């Protein structure tokens, strides 16, 4: 299965990271710790993931372990798509 990281990184850059150096974060960096997304940003990210990957993100799945870094999102989407 292909990595979701390039697509999600592009989504974040297009919608949230407006200065040139803002996309220079590692795949395991916490979005919350770096203040890349606020609560509305996370909701937009969830909507994007559901539309882009045809998955449903339950309320109980909206936790940092699933959504707080590119690595976490990539693993989460892979689990959801293989279920």
Query: pLDDT tens for residues 29-69?
Result: 999 998 888 899 999 999 999 999 999 999 999 999 999 99
For residue 65, give its domain range.
5-82
Give 9: exposed, middle or buried? Use CB within 10 Å, 0-12, 13-18, 19+: middle
Return the pLDDT at 29.
Answer: 94
As for how many domains the chain has, the answer is 1
The residues near 29 (Cβ < 8 Å, ≥ 6 apart) are 69, 70
CATH assignment of the domain containing 12: 1.10.1200.10
Query: Does residue 19 surpass a pLDDT of 70?
Result: no
Per-residue model confidence as pLDDT tens digits over 24-33? 789 999 999 9
């Amino acid at each position: 299965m292909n990595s979701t990281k390039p697509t999600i990184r592009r989504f974040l850059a297009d919608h949230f990271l407006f200065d040139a150096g803002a996309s220079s974060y590692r795949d395991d960096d916490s979005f919350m710790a770096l203040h890349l997304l606020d609560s509305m940003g996370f909701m937009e990210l969830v909507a994007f993931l559901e539309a882009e990957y045809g998955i449903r993100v339950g309320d109980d799945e909206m936790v940092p372990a699933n959504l707080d870094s590119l690595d976490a999102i990539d693993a989460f989407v892979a689990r959801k798509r293989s279920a």
